[in-house]
């Protein structure tokens, strides 16, 4: 340590910087104390976001701050909890920038078996309050699992007992996940093994177990403590695969026994819970097959007899179709006459409808329409003029009552509107007159088309006598004189002056008037 370059005059005491004093204290503590073992009660425990753990050790008079770095947490052997009495081992260190000293704890152990049992009861109450021991959460074991996963150590007789018992009862595929079953590495390895088996995908390259067995032989409380750790209990409770715990002997109880789906007193008993006896199962299958065959045969016999009984009560197929077949024959016989009668009714209705279409009727309708059109046309122009005159007088009388100078603009607008109305009325009248004229011309063309003049133009003639139109040869011979009308005129002939002509071999086809 260097002295200050310019001490005050008259003073022999050296002066130090704050950092120099803090560094000296840190060096003194780490050199003099070094590695220590400290017994005390755990106070607050904080695990930072970075992964470092901070906690306090205290007794009835003092409190010591402790910390464990992220890389040292996995080697602690256990995670301290508030209220536990532990023995912590590590190095003393000091923080220069805050003038504080602390213990860098690297190993922690519970102080005594009584403390362990108190801690176990505390954990049991906490997990029970969270509902992890509820029977509703426990899954049923599969009757005959295809693959069984075993979490245990490869050393010792446990795995040999399980495999031997499975081979005697019902050989199954077994996947072994080797773990440490005591010591600091026990709890994290067992928890990782349970989570690892659950992480396997069904149908993958590594088969996913249908059942898990967590097994260990007997031992002291300290030897079995890894199975009392909270991470092991929570991993077993979160397992989607049914789990059997077989830790210790029948009198040994650990936390994993309470959260597992089934507890076995020994590893051998766990193998017996996992699979049935193959020979007993085969015998039961044979008995069930025999009973099923007997039941099936009896059922078929009863149903066959029932079918025969029901078949005798059914009518013959031909009897079921006789009545519909007769009904079809009757309807078929009536179909032809019904069609003919329908055609005849429609022919009569057509004749009655066409009988009302006479040239005289059409001429009368045309004459009436022409007369009505002429009357409307004659009244249209005077009516329009009267309407214009009345409208003009109405507007003139109204404008006389108002100030012309003040309403001049309004009057001009109304006059313009009036002119537009008159123009529209005139146009409407013209259009109406044109439409009626077109209708009259169309009806006149229809009259000419349907009249007999058009028929005469096609080579026909009308024979008349004093009594009217002559339609038979007998009436023509009996008439005194005949009048024949052609398309271009009328001639008169005396009776008997013409001889009937011989009928042609094939008369030309002529159209009918209607």
Q: Where are the domains of the chain?
A: 18-111, 142-279, 359-450, 456-492
Question: Which superfamily is assigned to 18-111 in CATH?
Answer: Nucleic acid-binding proteins (2.40.50.140)
Check pLDDT > 80 for residue 137: yes
Check pLDDT > 70 for residue 187: yes
Residue/partner pairs of 359-364 with CB below 8 Å, 24 or more apart: 359/447, 359/450, 359/451, 359/452, 362/443, 362/446, 362/447, 362/450, 363/447, 363/451
The chain-wide mean pLDDT, for the chain, equals: 82
> pLDDT for 458-514, tens place per residue?
788 888 887 688 888 888 888 878 888 888 888 888 754 444 444 334 444 443 333
Rounded CA-CA distance 197/421 in Å is 99
**Sequence-distant (≥ 6) Cβ neighbours of residue 303 within 8 angstroms:** none
Residue range 431-451: average pLDDT? 85
Count the alpha carbons within 13 Å of 217 in the hemisphere toward its beta carbon: 9
Residue range 293-310: average pLDDT? 90
Confidence (pLDDT) at 404: 57
Rounded CA-CA distance 134/472 in Å is 121
Arch. (CATH architecture) of 142-279: 3-Layer(aba) Sandwich (3.40)
Confidence (pLDDT) at 446: 81
Confidence (pLDDT) at 4: 47
């Amino acid at each position: 340590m260097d002295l200050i370059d310019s001490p005050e005059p008259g003073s022999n005491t050296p002066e130090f910087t704050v950092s120099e004093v803090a560094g000296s204290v840190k060096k003194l503590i780490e050199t003099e104390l070094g590695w220590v073992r400290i017994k005390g009660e755990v106070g607050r425990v904080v695990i930072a976001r970075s992964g470092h753990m901070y906690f306090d050790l205290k007794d009835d008079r003092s409190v010591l701050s402790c910390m464990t770095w992220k890389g040292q947490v996995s080697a602690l052997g256990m995670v301290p909890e508030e209220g536990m009495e532990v023995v912590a081992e590590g190095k003393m260190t000091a923080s220069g920038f805050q003038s504080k000293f602390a213990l860098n704890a690297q190993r922690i152990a519970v102080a005594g078996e009584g403390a362990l049992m108190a801690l176990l009861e505390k954990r049991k109450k906490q997990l029970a309050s969270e509902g992890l021991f509820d029977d509703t959460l426990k899954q049923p074991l599969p009757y005959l699992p295809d693959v069984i996963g075993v979490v245990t150590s490869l050393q010792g007789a446990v795995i040999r007992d399980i495999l031997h018992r499975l081979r005697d009862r019902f050989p199954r595929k077994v996947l072994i996940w080797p773990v440490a079953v005591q010591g600091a590495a026990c709890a994290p390895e067992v928890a990782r093994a349970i989570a690892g088996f659950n992480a396997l995908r069904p149908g993958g390259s590594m088969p996913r177990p249908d059942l898990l067995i967590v097994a260990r032989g007997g031992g002291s409380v300290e030897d079995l403590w890894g199975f009392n750790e909270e991470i092991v209990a929570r991993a077993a409770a979160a397992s989607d695969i049914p789990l059997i715990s077989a830790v210790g002997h029948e009198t040994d109880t650990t936390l994993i026994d309470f959260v597992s789906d089934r507890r076995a007193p020994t590893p051998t008993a766990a193998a017996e819970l996992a699979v049935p006896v193959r020979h007993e199962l085969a015998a039961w299958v044979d008995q069930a097959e025999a009973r099923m065959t007997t039941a099936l045969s009896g059922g078929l016999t009863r149903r066959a007899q029932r079918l025969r009984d029901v078949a005798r009560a059914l009518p013959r197929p031909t009897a079921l179709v006789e009545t519909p077949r007769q009904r079809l024959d009757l309807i078929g016989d009536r179909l032809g006459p019904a069609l003919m009668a329908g055609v005849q009714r429609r022919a009569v209705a057509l004749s009655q409808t066409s009988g009302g279409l006479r040239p005289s009727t059409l001429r009368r309708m045309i004459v009436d329409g022409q007369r009505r059109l002429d009357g409307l046309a004659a009244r249209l122009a005077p009516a329009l003029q009267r309407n214009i005159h009345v409208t003009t007088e109405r507007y003139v009388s109204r404008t006389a009552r108002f100030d012309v100078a003040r309403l001049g603009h309004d009057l001009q607008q109304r006059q313009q509107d009036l002119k537009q109305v008159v123009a529209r009325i005139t146009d409407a009248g013209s259009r109406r007159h044109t439409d009626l004229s077109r209708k009259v011309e169309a009806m006149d063309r229809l009259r000419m088309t349907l009249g007999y003049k058009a028929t005469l133009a096609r080579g026909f003639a009308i024979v008349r006598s004093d009594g009217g139109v002559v339609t038979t040869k007998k009436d023509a011979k009996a008439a005194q004189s005949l009048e024949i009308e052609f398309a271009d005129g009328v001639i008169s002939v005396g009776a008997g002056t013409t001889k009937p002509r011989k009928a042609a071999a094939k008369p030309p086809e002529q159209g009918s008037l209607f």
